[in-house]
Amino acid sequence: MRLRNVTGSREVIAENEYVVQDEKELKGKWKEFFGNDNPIFIEIGMGKGTFIMECARQNPDINYIGIEKYSSVLIRAIEKRQLEPELNNLFFIRMDAEEIEEVFEKGEVDYIYLNFSDPWPKARTAKRRLTSDRFLSRYINILAEEGGITFKTDNKDLFEYSVETAEECGWRIKKITRDLHNSEYMEGNIMTEYEKKFSQLGNKINMMQYFPPLSK
Ligand code: SAM
pLDDT by residue, tens only, the chain of 216 residues:
545 677 778 888 988 999 999 999 999 999 999 999 999 999 999 999 999 999 999 999 999 999 999 999 999 999 999 999 999 999 999 999 999 999 999 999 999 999 999 999 999 999 999 999 999 999 999 999 999 999 999 999 999 999 999 999 999 999 999 999 999 999 999 999 999 999 999 999 999 999 999 976
pTM for this model (two decimals): 0.96
Active site residues: 118
Q: What is the pLDDT of residue 134?
A: 98
For ligand 1, which residues put their CB under 6 angstroms from it? 1, 44-47, 67-70, 73, 96-98, 115-118, 192-195
Rounded to 10 degrees, the C-alpha dihedral 119/121/127/128 comes to -40
Query: Going by C-beta distance under 8 Å and a sequence separation of 6 or more, which residues neighbour residue 25?
Result: none
Q: Count the Cβ atoms, other than its own, within 10 Å of residue 90.
A: 20
Q: What is the pLDDT of residue 195?
A: 98
Q: Count the Cβ atoms, other than its own, within 10 Å of residue 68.
A: 29
Give the span between the Cα atoms of 153 and 114, in whole angstroms: 9
Distance between Cα 87 and ligand 1 center (Å): 23
Distance between Cα 44 and ligand 1 center (Å): 7
Question: Which atom of ligand 1 is nearest to 152's Cα?
Answer: 4
Mutational pocket test of ligand 1: of 70, 158, 205, the residue with most ligand atoms within 8 Å of the beta carbon: 70
Q: How far is CA 31 from the centre of its chain?
A: 19
Give the span between the Cα atoms of 126 and 124, in whole angstroms: 6
Distance between Cα 174 and ligand 1 center (Å): 24
Q: Is 191 exposed, middle or buried (0-12, 13-18, 19+ CB in 10 A)?
A: middle
Structural element, H or E, at residue 9? helix 9-15
Distance between Cα 216 and ligand 1 center (Å): 33
Q: What is the pLDDT of residue 149?
A: 98
Give the span between the Cα atoms of 111 and 54, in whole angstroms: 16
